[in-house]
Chains A and B, each alone.
Chain A
C-alpha cells in the first residue's frame, strides 16, 4: 500500500510539474503564434522601407519606427552600458564598504521603479527645460532603466571570477586597478556582454518611459533632438486607433519587435557559449 502510494504520488507530482512547465512555455508559444497569424501577412518590403501614410489610406510601413528604435536603443546603450558596467565593476571589486552598500541598495530600488516613473523623470529633467520632446530624452530614460540592471548583473559576473586569479595578478606586481581591468574584467567579459544584451533586449520593448520623452513621430527622422518613433510607440498608437489598416500594422510591428528581442536574446546565448574564459 505505502509503496503503491509512494509511486502514485511520484507519478502525479511529475505529471503536475510537466504540465506547469508546458503552461509557462505555452504563454510564449501563444504570443508568437498569435503575432505570426495576425502580423506575418502584413510584412512586406514596404513595411520595412516606407513611413506611415495618412490615416485611412492603405499601404505604408514603419521604417520610421524601426530606425527610431535602433537610434533610441543604441543611444541608450551608449549611455547606459559604460555607467552600468562601471558601477558593477566597482560594486564587485571595491564595493565592500558603506558606499558599496548604498549603491547596491539604490540600484535595487531603481530596478524596481515602474518604468513610467522613469519616463516622468526624463520629461522633468530634459523635455521641460528644452521645451520639446526628443529621442535623446527617451534614450536617457531608457539608460536610467538599464543602468541598475547592468550594474547588478555585471557585479554577479565579476564575483564569479575566482579570487586566485586576482591574487596571481597582484603577486606579479599588478596594481589593483590593473588587476580589475586586465584580468578580472577580461575573464568575466562573456558574462558582462551577455548581461548587456539582455538589458538591451529588455529596454527595446519599453513603451511607458518613451510616452513623455520620445513621444513618437509619424515621419522618418534620425535627428535625436526631435520626437522620434519607436516600434513600441507605433504599436501603442496603431493598436488603440480606429482603423483596421492600423491594427494590421500594429500586429506586424509587434511581430518585428518580438523578433528583434528574440534575436538579441539568441545573440546573448551565443556570446555566453563562446569561450571568453571559464566563466559562463
Chain B
C-alpha cells in the first residue's frame, strides 16, 4: 500500500511496541518508510509519535525504564537484534530535535564536524569538504562561510536548527529523523526547514514528526496518523488529507479534536 513499485524498501517497523515502565506509548505499530520520501507522523500531543521516532534510532531505550518489543527493520536487518551496536547504528541515522542543540563549546565548523570524528581521524581537507557540503545541504553555507570558527551560539534560532541539520547530515546518514524541527522557529525559519525537506529527500529517507498538519501536507509524500499510541491510518499525503478512510483521521485533520 505505502511502498510504491519502484521505491526501494529501506526502513520498516513491525509490530513495534514501546513502553515507559508499564505505560505503552507506542502500540503494535507496523509502518513502512519508503526510500527517498518524506513520511510525516502526525497526531495530537502524547500520541506516541516522538517515541516512535526515537525507536527508529534506538534513542528510546536510553530513557530509564523504557523498553521496546517488536522489530525495526533497516534493509531487512532488525536493529534490535543482539549483534547490532546501537552507537554504530546511530551513525547511519541522523536526528534533529525540537529545540536547536548546538554544542556550546564548539565553533560552527566543529559542530558540523562533530559527527565525522566518531568514525576516526580523517585528513583535514576531507573534513573541510564534508563540512562545507553539509552546510550547503542545510542551506546555511552562504550565511556562515566567513565565520566558520566563531561560536555556534551566535547564530539565530533558525540558523542553529539548520546547523543541527548540517551536523546530522555531515556523516552522510541513510535516514534523517526530524522531531518537530520547527517547533521553536518563526515562520521564516519554518519555511526554510520545510524547503530543506524537499531538497534533502533526494539524498536521504526522511521521517518528520509534526503537530502541524499544514506542515505535514506541505512537506511529506506519506502521512501516518497516530492516536493514543496506535497507528490509525497511513497513506499518500494527498489521500490522507482529502479522503481519509478512518473517521478519527478525518476528525483530527478537520480540527474537531487534538
Binary interface encoding of chain B residues 103-120 relative to chain A, with 1 for a CB under 8 A from any of its CBs, else 0: 111000000001100110
Q: How far is the CB of A189 from chain B (nearest CB, A)?
A: 7
Which one of B57, B119, B153 lies within 8 Å of A171 (CB-CB)?
A: B57
User: Are A167 and B88 touching (Cβ within 8 A)?
Assistant: no
- Residue numbers in A under 8 Å from B91 (CB-CB): 172-173
In the complex the two chains form, what is the Cα distance from A90 to B243 in whole Å?
Answer: 55
User: Are A175 and B104 touching (Cβ within 8 A)?
Assistant: no
User: Are A167 and B87 touching (Cβ within 8 A)?
Assistant: no
Q: Given A164-B97, A164-B99, A167-B62, are A173 and B115 also a contact pair (CB < 8 Å)? A: yes
Which B residues, 82 to 110, have Cβ-Cβ distances below 8 Å to chain A?
87-91, 94-95, 97, 99, 101, 103-105
Of the stretches B163-171, B188-196, B216-224, the one at the interface is B163-171
- Residue numbers in B under 8 Å from A278 (CB-CB): 104, 153
User: Are A171 and B59 touching (Cβ within 8 A)?
Assistant: yes
Which one of A96, A178, A183 lies within 8 Å of B103 (CB-CB)?
A: A183
Which A residues, 155 to 199, have Cβ-Cβ distances below 8 Å to chain B?
162, 164-165, 167-175, 178, 183, 186-187, 189
Chain B CB within 8 A of A277 CB: yes
- Residue numbers in A under 8 Å from B62 (CB-CB): 167, 170
User: Are B105 and A168 touching (Cβ within 8 A)?
Assistant: no
Chain B CB within 8 A of A276 CB: yes
Q: Given A170-B62, A174-B87, are A189 and B105 also a contact pair (CB < 8 Å)? A: yes
User: Are B118 and A168 touching (Cβ within 8 A)?
Assistant: no
User: Are A164 and B101 touching (Cβ within 8 A)?
Assistant: yes
Of all chain B residues, which has the CB nearest A166?
A: B62
Which one of B90, B151, B153 lies within 8 Å of A172 (CB-CB)?
A: B90
User: Are A171 and B104 touching (Cβ within 8 A)?
Assistant: no
User: Are A277 and B104 touching (Cβ within 8 A)?
Assistant: yes
Which one of A162, A170, A178 lies within 8 Å of B59 (CB-CB)?
A: A170
Q: Interface extent on B, as a size class? A: 20 to 34
In the complex the two chains form, what is the Cα distance from A172 to B99 in whole Å?
Answer: 16
Binary interface encoding of chain B residues 55-84 relative to chain A, with 1 for a CB under 8 A from any of its CBs, else 0: 001010010100000000000000000000
User: Are A169 and B103 touching (Cβ within 8 A)?
Assistant: yes
User: Are B88 and A168 touching (Cβ within 8 A)?
Assistant: no
Q: How far is the CB of B96 from chain A (nearest CB, A)?
A: 9
Of all chain A residues, which has the CB nearest B106?
A: A186
Q: Given A164-B101, A168-B103, A276-B105, are A175 and B87 also a contact pair (CB < 8 Å)? A: yes
User: Are B104 and A168 touching (Cβ within 8 A)?
Assistant: no
Q: How far is the CB of B60 from chain A (nearest CB, A)?
A: 11
Which one of A171, A174, A178 lies within 8 Å of B95 (CB-CB)?
A: A171
Q: How far is the CB of A177 from chain B (nearest CB, A)?
A: 10
User: Are A173 and B118 touching (Cβ within 8 A)?
Assistant: yes
Which one of B59, B101, B119 lies within 8 Å of A165 (CB-CB)?
A: B101
User: Are B59 and A173 touching (Cβ within 8 A)?
Assistant: no
User: Are A168 and B171 touching (Cβ within 8 A)?
Assistant: no
Q: How far is the CB of B156 from chain A (nearest CB, A)?
A: 16
Q: How far is the CB of B5 from chain A (nearest CB, A)?
A: 33
In the complex the two chains form, what is the Cα distance from A189 to B103 in whole Å?
Answer: 13
Which A residues, 135 to 170, have Cβ-Cβ distances below 8 Å to chain B?
162, 164-165, 167-170
Binary interface encoding of chain A residues 259-277 relative to chain B, with 1 for a CB under 8 A from any of its CBs, else 0: 0000000000000000111
In the complex the two chains form, what is the Cα distance from A165 to B99 in whole Å?
Answer: 10
In the complex the two chains form, what is the Cα distance from A171 to B91 in whole Å?
Answer: 8
Which one of B64, B90, B99 lies within 8 Å of A173 (CB-CB)?
A: B90
- Residue numbers in A under 8 Å from B171 (CB-CB): 172-173
List 16 other contacts, CB 8 Å, given A173-B88, A275-B151, A277-B104: A165-B101, A165-B104, A168-B164, A169-B114, A170-B62, A170-B90, A171-B59, A172-B115, A172-B167, A173-B87, A173-B115, A173-B118, A183-B105, A186-B105, A189-B105, A276-B105
Residues on B close to A: CB < 8 A? 57, 59, 62, 64, 87-91, 94-95, 97, 99, 101, 103-105, 114-115, 118-119, 151, 153, 164, 167-168, 171
Residues on A close to B: CB < 8 A? 96, 162, 164-165, 167-175, 178, 183, 186-187, 189, 275-278
Can you list 10 A-B contacts with CB-CB less than 8 angstroms, sorted by A residue number? A96-B64, A164-B97, A167-B97, A172-B118, A172-B168, A173-B171, A175-B87, A175-B118, A183-B105, A186-B105
Nearest 8 CB-CB pairings of A with B: A173-B91, A168-B101, A277-B104, A171-B95, A172-B115, A173-B90, A186-B105, A164-B101
